[in-house]
Amino acid sequence: MNDIRSFIQALPKAELHLHLEGTITPATLVELSLRHDAQPLTLEQAEALYRFNDFSEFLEAFKVVTRLLSGPDDYELAAWRMLQQLAQQGVVHAEIYISVGVIYLWRNHDPHCFEPIFAALERARRRAENELGISLYWIFDAVRHFTVEEAARVFRKAAELRPQYPSIIGIGLGGDERRTGSEPFRHLYDEAKSAGLRLTNHAGETTGPEAIWEALAIGSERLGHVLSAIHDPALLDELRTRAIPLELNPTSNVRTGVCSSFAEHPLRRYFDAELLVTLNSDDPAFFGSDLANEFYLAHTEQGFNEDQLRTLASNSIRASFLPSAAKERWLNQIESLT
C-alpha cells in the first residue's frame, strides 16, 4: 500500500476541478474567525457548517463557508494553504475555480469589491510558483441559478482583467443544474470565447445526459462531473470522438448522494471506453478526500494499476490549458517515472 501511495505522490499531476472555497478547512475558518470576530467560532461550530445530507444542502453549506471569507487577507491565506496542500500531493499544476458570483452576491454587487481580493489571490499564486514550483490558472465560476445577469458580471470581469492577469484562463458555471441548464448562457459563452477565455461547464452532475448535450451545444470545451453520460451511448461516442476532457469527481458525487459508491462511479467504464478522463477532488474540505486519495481509491475501488494511474496523470496534463511546451515537459516526466 505504501508503494502505491508513494507512486501516486511522485506522479506529476494536474488538478483541473477544484473550488478554492471548497478547500478551506474548519480549522482555517476558526483561524479566520479569531482574526475578525468578537465571539470567534469554535471548532465544533465550524465543523457543523460542513454537514449536509444531499446536493442542495451541500450547495448551501458551500455558500455559508464562502460568506465567512471577509476580505483579501482571508482569500490570500486560503489560496496559499490550498497550494501547499496541492504541492504536498505532487500536484504540479492546478486550474482553480473561484466563485466570483458568490463574492458579488455577498457584497451587494459592489463593482469594486473583487479587484483587491483578486490581487491577494495573485500574491498567493506567485508565491507558490516561486516557493513550491506549482503553477496555477484561475477559472471564474458563476452560479448558474443566480440569473444570467449575474453570470454576465462574472464572465465580463474575467475578460476585463485577463489582459492584466494572463493567469485568468477561463470561465465556468457551477450551481444547481436542476434549476438552470446551459442554453441561457450561450451568448455569454460566445462572448467569453471571443475574449480569449477557455470554456468549462459543470454538466450532468444532478441531471441527465440531455444537460451534457446542452453544455456541448453552447461550446463548452471541458466538462465537470459528466456522471449521467453513462446512460447515453451516442453521447459517450461524441465525447470520445471529440476527445472532450472530462473533469470527474467520484468522491464528491458519492458524498452529495448522486452516486452510490466510488466502485459504482462510471470512471472505470469511461476510461475503458477511451474517453479523456481526469480525476479531481472538487471540494476536498467538504468531501474528506483529496486528489492523491482519489488516485488511491481508483486503485483500490476500481483496480487501476500503476500504468493506468500514469495514464490518468497524463490525461490531466493533456486536458489542462497549459501551453504545449509545458505539457510536453510534464508528459515526459510522467512517462519516465519508474
Radius of gyration, CA atoms only, the chain = 19
Range 82-141, binding ligand ADE (CB under 6 A): none
Helix (H, G, I), strand (E, B) or coil at 337: coil
Q: Which residues have C-beta within 8 Å of that of residue 249, sequence separation ≥ 6?
A: 17, 224, 225, 279, 280, 281, 282, 294
3-state class percentages of the chain: helix first, strand second, coil last, to nearest 5: 55, 15, 30
Closest contact distance (angstroms) between CB of 249 and ligand ADE is 7
For helices 209-217 and 233-241, angle between their N-to-C axes, nearest 10 degrees: 30
Under the binding rule (CB under 6 A), the answer on residue 180 touching ligand ADE is no
Binding mask 12-51 for ligand ADE (x = CB under 6 A): -------x--x-----------------------------
Cα distance between residue 184 and residue 207, in whole Å? 16
Residue number, nearest CB to ligand ADE: 174
Whole-number Cα distances in Å, 119 to 21, 115, 167, 168: 17, 6, 12, 12
**Shortest Å, Cβ 188 to Zn ion:** 19
Which of 176/306 has CB closer to ligand ADE? 176
How far is C-alpha 130 from the chain's CA centre?
Answer: 23
Residues in the site for Zn ion, rule: CB under 5 A? 282
Question: Which entry of ligand ADE, Zn ion, none binds 252, CB below 5 to 8 A by partner kind?
Answer: ligand ADE
At its nearest, how many Å lie between ligand ADE and the CB of residue 184? 16
Q: Pick between residue 249 and residue 314 the one whose CB is nearest to Zn ion.
A: 249
To Zn ion, the closest distance from the beta carbon of 282 in angstroms equals 5
The answer to whether 222 contacts ligand ADE (rule: CB under 6 A) is no
- Please identify every residue annotated as catalytic: 205
H or E stretch covering 72: helix 72-88
Between 175 and 299, CB nearer to Zn ion: 175
- Contact string (CB under 6 A) for ligand ADE, positions 255-294, x = contact: ---------------------------xx-----------
DSSP state of 53: S
Helix, strand or coil for residue 253? helix
- The closest of 129, 154, 159 to 143, measured between CA atoms, is 154
Residue 174 interacts with ligand ADE (CB under 6 A): yes or no: yes
Residue 101 binding partner per list ligand ADE, Zn ion, none, with a CB distance cut-off of 5 to 8 Å that depends on partner kind = none
* C-beta separation of 215 from 191 below 8 A: no
Shortest distance, CB of residue 327 to ligand ADE, whole angstroms? 26
196: left (phi over 0), alpha (psi -120 to 50) or beta: left
Q: How many residues bind to ligand ADE according to rule CB under 6 A?
A: 10
What does 22 interact with, of ligand ADE, Zn ion, none (CB < 5 to 8 A by kind)?
Answer: ligand ADE
* Footprint of ligand ADE (CB under 6 A): 19, 22, 62, 174-175, 202, 205, 252, 282-283
